[in-house]
């Protein structure tokens, strides 16, 4: 699997230069009004600019100061728009390459009369039938109705190994822009041009379709409320100052307002959202909306298919249990010989176990006869120099050996029973009439999956295994894999009912699936992830598509969702905590002339009132730039309980946000006074 996980470097000039240009374009107030905090900042910057021009015209001594404040207020706005532009720029490169493949598409459409005409792909309609031969690009999303072909989907998935697409079944969906490598298929177009998968992908990556997610809206309300409060505060200060005999200029009040309103999180909010989607894309997952990504962070229950997700797809030999009087190595050797010509995964796993754990040398022998497995005999094996080695279903092998079930040794029967009860499959091995023992075939749980479930549990997420196995087998695998619950002998209806039941209790459910019969459950789930290899119906029903078709991807998706919220929350806390230091910089600066005693509040010992105010404004602007990498990368996430996460983030971003600006403003003040800026 090729994973394009490495993001472009944070300082990639190919992204930064266009972003700097876009940052200016985004100053348009009609666009900025979507972001109230930054919009207020821009309005204030405009007012101070006018005042600066007035100072300049009147030749006021204040011009130098108000000019610098105005400049830094504009920088504050620009840094915010720049952050958004950078976040968008990182997705754009990928979108551009997708667009290129799309624009060149042509289709060979079958007309009503049965002839074939060549038309541009953009003129295709739903229901059109197109032919695609080897070497051609599939012109639109659709379903294979005739033929089978290998298709290169690397344009979408980044995965270079071709996949098989065939009519009927769960592998019938094809995506526009992918290339047929062999054979010819007939495709029925199921999606109108402009809303195809690639189009959706482009729109999402570019952020054009970006709407505020519910959580983002709630946070925006909090930030707008705080902005309003600080607006009151600043207006009131003007009145209170008047009483105290201090005349405050609009410039210093503007500076105070902008430093107090949450510009840090306000400026980075949309960049965080875009970067979250972008991170998902880099994990080769396409989400249809930001809402789905956010919901992923909230998921309470994960529904995972057993096969391929929790266990390897096939049963494998895990042990040899010899009958009385047979040595383990004899049994292993017999099992090995009986399986040498068995090319099924089970057979190969028996060979691997015998030569591996049981150290049987690979024999170089010539068989007299190979007995293939059939549904009637239910056993297979070889004849070799008078030895008639067989392995297979226990009753079939017993019959082959000429034994009644009661004739088998008690130890053998016990072994068979134990294996069956543990959810495994017993395979008996016999040499002629001599019963040698049992092979334990079982579902092998993927290594490391138990730890992942433990991590999910620490995050408060229950995992539920869905399987068609009987309850006994399911329970055994469930306990081995460490899932919290399982759904045995599950039909698609069972899945749907289970999801509904959980949702009734207020839980959010995520699941992944690929078959058409998964579609209702995918649509019902709060987060439904369809495999790229899955059917069109599944892909339509889901709100995310995993291009790698890896069922464990759900776990990463949940983490990305959580990281997105955490980044917002942490930067909000940081932004608010910053205000304390700004008060200690600006309030004494404003009033020390009237009340010299207030210099006691100047605990940073800033050089002069003007340098204090300017330093606070500069810090406020620069902190946005400094935090762009964090906003794009997301705050560090480790699976842990909520209390542990909160404690850590409060310490880093709450306490850090309280302390850092004291040091930062002091440092800037030293620089400002060293350079004689005011």
Partner 1 sequence: MTMIGWLQIALFFLAVLVTIKPLGLYMARVFAGERTALSPVLGRLEADLYRISGISPNKEQGWLAYTASMLAFSVAGFLALYAILRLQAHLPLNPQGFAGMAPDLAFNTAVSFVTNTNWQNYGGETTLSHFSQMAGLTVQNFLSAATGMALAMALTRAFVRSKAATLGNFWVDMTRAVLYVLLPMAIVVALAFVAMGLPQTLDGAVTATTLEGASQTIALGPVASQEAIKQLGTNGGGFFNVNAAHPFENPTTFSNYLNIFAMLSISAALVYTFGQLVGNRRQGWAIISAMAILLIAGVAAIYWAEAAGNPVLTALGVDAAAGNMEGKEVRFGQAMTALYAAVTTGLSDGGVNGMHGSFTGLGGLVPMFLMQLGEVLPGGVGSGLYGMLVFALLSVFVSGLMVGRTPEFLGKKIEGREMKYAMLAVLVLPLAILGFTAISAMLPLAVASIGTAGPHGLSEILYAYTSAAANNGSAFGGLTGNTVWYNTTLGIAMLLGRFAYVVPVMAIAGSLAAKVKVPPSSGTFPTDGPLFVGLLIGIILILGGLQFFPALALGPIVEHLAMLAGQTF
Distance of closest approach, residue 677 Cβ to partner 1, in angstroms: 25
Distance of closest approach, residue 334 Cβ to partner 1, in angstroms: 50
Question: Cβ closer to partner 1: 29 or 460?
Answer: 460
Tokens standing for 185? 């298929």
141 an active-site residue? no
Distance of closest approach, residue 640 Cβ to partner 1, in angstroms: 9
Pairing of strands 285-287, 527-531: unpaired
Report the C-alpha gap between 222 and 242 in whole angstroms. 31
**What is the longest distance spanned by two Cα atoms in the chain?**
116
Report the C-alpha gap between 374 and 645 in whole angstroms. 57
Please check if 480 is assigned to a binding site: no
DSSP characters over 151-191: EE-HHHH---S-EEEESSGGG-EE-TT-EE-SS-EEEEE-S
Sign of the four-CA dihedral 363, 368, 373, 378? negative
Pairing of strands 301-305, 509-513: parallel
Please check if 662 is assigned to a binding site: no
Please check if 391 is assigned to a binding site: yes
From the list 135, 137, 149, the residue with the least C-alpha distance to 107 is 137
Contact 179, 132 (CB under 8 A): no
Q: Count CA atoms closer than 13 A to 48's CA, side-chain side.
A: 30
Distance of closest approach, residue 40 Cβ to partner 1, in angstroms: 15
* Backbone conformation region of residue 186, classed left if phi is above 0, alpha if psi is from -120 to 50, else beta: beta
Report the C-alpha gap between 246 and 338 in whole angstroms. 99
* Backbone conformation region of residue 105, classed left if phi is above 0, alpha if psi is from -120 to 50, else beta: beta
Pairing of strands 148-152, 179-180: antiparallel
Distance of closest approach, residue 243 Cβ to partner 1, in angstroms: 4
Please check if 379 is assigned to a binding site: yes
How far are the Cα atoms of 110, 173, 626 from residue 266, in angstroms, in the given order? 54, 42, 14
Please check if 378 is assigned to a binding site: yes
Report the C-alpha gap between 517 and 513 in whole angstroms. 9
Report the C-alpha gap between 8 and 87 in whole angstroms. 11
State residue 439 phi and psi, 5-degree precision.
Answer: -100, 130
From the list 311, 189, 262, the residue with the least C-alpha distance to 657 is 262
Question: Cβ closer to partner 1: 208 or 235?
Answer: 235
Distance of closest approach, residue 650 Cβ to partner 1, in angstroms: 7
- Going by the DSSP 8-state scheme, the letter that residue 469 receives in this structure is S
Distance of closest approach, residue 598 Cβ to partner 1, in angstroms: 6
Contact 510, 296 (CB under 8 A): yes
Please check if 377 is assigned to a binding site: yes
Q: Count CA atoms closer than 13 A to 638's CA, side-chain side.
A: 8
Tokens standing for 368? 């007299």
Question: Cβ closer to partner 1: 41 or 224?
Answer: 224
Question: Cβ closer to partner 1: 105 or 234?
Answer: 234
Instruction: Determine which one of 55, 128, 141, 305 is catalytic.
Output: 305
Q: Is 292 exposed, middle or buried (0-12, 13-18, 19+ CB in 10 A)?
A: buried
Question: Cβ closer to partner 1: 550 or 570?
Answer: 570
Please check if 518 is assigned to a binding site: yes
Pairing of strands 142-146, 148-152: unpaired
Distance of closest approach, residue 36 Cβ to partner 1, in angstroms: 12
Please check if 380 is assigned to a binding site: yes
Sign of the four-CA dihedral 387, 388, 393, 397? negative
Report the C-alpha gap between 643 and 50 in whole angstroms. 49
DSSP characters over 268-301: HHHHHHHHHHHHHHHTTEEES-HHHHHHHHH--E
Contact 575, 265 (CB under 8 A): yes
Please check if 346 is assigned to a binding site: yes
Report the C-alpha gap between 94 and 333 in whole angstroms. 54
Distance of closest approach, residue 576 Cβ to partner 1, in angstroms: 6
Distance of closest approach, residue 67 Cβ to partner 1, in angstroms: 26
Please check if 507 is assigned to a binding site: no
Distance of closest approach, residue 300 Cβ to partner 1, in angstroms: 6
Please check if 342 is assigned to a binding site: yes
Please check if 101 is assigned to a binding site: no
Residues 6 or more apart whose CB falls under 8 angstroms from that of 243 comprise none
Report the C-alpha gap between 426 and 315 in whole angstroms. 11
Question: Cβ closer to partner 1: 193 or 262?
Answer: 262
Binding residue numbers for ATP: 342, 346, 373-380, 391
Binding residue numbers for Mg(2+): 514, 518
Q: Which residues are catalytic?
A: 305
Binding residue numbers: 342, 346, 373-380, 391, 514, 518
């Amino acid at each position: 699997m090729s994973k394009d996980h490495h993001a472009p470097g944070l300082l990639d000039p190919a992204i930064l230069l266009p972003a700097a240009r876009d940052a200016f374009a985004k100053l348009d107030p009609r666009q900025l009004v979507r972001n109230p905090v930054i919009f207020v900042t821009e309005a204030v910057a405009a007012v101070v600019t006018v005042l600066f021009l007035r100072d300049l015209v009147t030749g006021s001594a204040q011009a130098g100061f108000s000019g610098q404040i105005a400049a830094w207020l504009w920088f504050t706005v620009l840094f915010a728009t720049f952050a958004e532009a950078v976040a968008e720029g990182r997705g754009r490169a990928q979108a551009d390459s997708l667009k290129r493949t799309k624009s060149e598409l042509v289709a060979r459409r079958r007309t009503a009369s049965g002839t074939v005409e060549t038309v541009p792909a953009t003129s295709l309609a739903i229901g059109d039938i197109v032919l695609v031969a080897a070497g051609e690009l599939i012109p639109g999303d659709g379903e294979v109705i005739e033929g089978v072909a290998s298709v290169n989907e690397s344009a979408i998935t980044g995965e270079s190994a071709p996949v098989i697409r065939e009519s009927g079944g769960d592998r019938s969906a094809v995506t526009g822009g992918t290339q047929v490598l062999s054979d010819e298929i007939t495709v029925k177009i199921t999606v109108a041009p402009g809303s195809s998968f690639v189009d959706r992908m482009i729109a999402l990556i570019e952020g054009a379709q970006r709407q505020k997610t519910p959580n983002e809206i709630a946070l925006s309300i909090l930030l707008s409320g705080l902005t309003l409060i600080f607006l009151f505060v600043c207006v009131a200060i003007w009145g209170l100052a008047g009483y105290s005999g201090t005349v405050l200029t609009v410039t210093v009040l503007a500076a105070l307002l902008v430093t107090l309103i949450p510009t840090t999180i306000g400026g980075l909010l949309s960049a965080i959202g875009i970067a979250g989607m972008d991170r998902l894309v880099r994990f080769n997952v396409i989400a249809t909306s930001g809402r789905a990504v956010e919901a992923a962070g909230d998921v309470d229950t994960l529904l995972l298919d057993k096969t391929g997700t929790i266990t390897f797809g096939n049963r494998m030999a895990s042990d040899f249990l010899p009958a009385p009087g047979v040595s383990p190595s004899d049994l292993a050797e017999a099992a090995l010989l009986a399986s040498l010509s068995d090319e099924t995964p089970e057979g190969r796993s028996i060979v691997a176990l015998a030569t591996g754990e049981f150290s049987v040398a690979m024999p170089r022998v010539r068989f007299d006869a190979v007995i293939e497995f059939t549904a009637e005999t239910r056993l297979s094996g070889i004849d070799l120099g008078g030895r008639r080695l067989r392995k297979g279903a226990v009753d079939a092998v017993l019959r082959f050996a000429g034994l009644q079930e009661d004739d088998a040794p008690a130890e053998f029967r016990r072994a068979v029973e134990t294996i069956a009860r543990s959810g495994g499959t017993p395979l008996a091995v016999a040499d002629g009439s001599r019963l040698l023992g049992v092979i334990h075939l079982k579902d092998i749980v993927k290594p490391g999956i138990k730890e992942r479930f433990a991590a999910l549990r620490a995050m408060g997420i229950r995992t539920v295994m869905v399987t068609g196995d009987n309850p006994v087998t399911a329970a055994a695998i469930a306990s081995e894999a460490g899932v919290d619950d399982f759904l045995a002998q599950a039909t698609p209806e069972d899945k749907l009912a289970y999801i509904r039941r959980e949702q009734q209790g207020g839980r959010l459910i995520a699941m992944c699936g690929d078959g058409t019969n998964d579609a209702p459950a995918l649509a019902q789930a709060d987060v439904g992830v369809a495999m790229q290899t899955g059917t069109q119906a599944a892909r339509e029903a889901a709100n995310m598509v995993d291009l790698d078709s890896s069922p464990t991807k759900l776990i990463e998706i949940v983490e990305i969702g959580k990281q997105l919220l955490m980044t917002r929350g942490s930067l909000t806390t940081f932004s608010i905590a910053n205000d304390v230091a700004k008060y200690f910089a600006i309030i004494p600066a404003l009033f020390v002339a009237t009340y010299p005693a207030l210099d006691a509040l100047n605990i940073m010992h800033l050089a002069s009132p003007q340098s204090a105010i300017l330093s606070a404004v500069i810090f406020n602007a620069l902190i946005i730039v400094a935090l762009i990498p964090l906003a794009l990368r997301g705050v560090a996430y480790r699976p842990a309980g909520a209390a542990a996460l909160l404690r850590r983030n409060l310490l880093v971003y709450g306490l850090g946000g309280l302390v850092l600006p004291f040091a930062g403003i002091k440092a800037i003040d030293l620089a400002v006074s060293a350079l004689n800026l005011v």
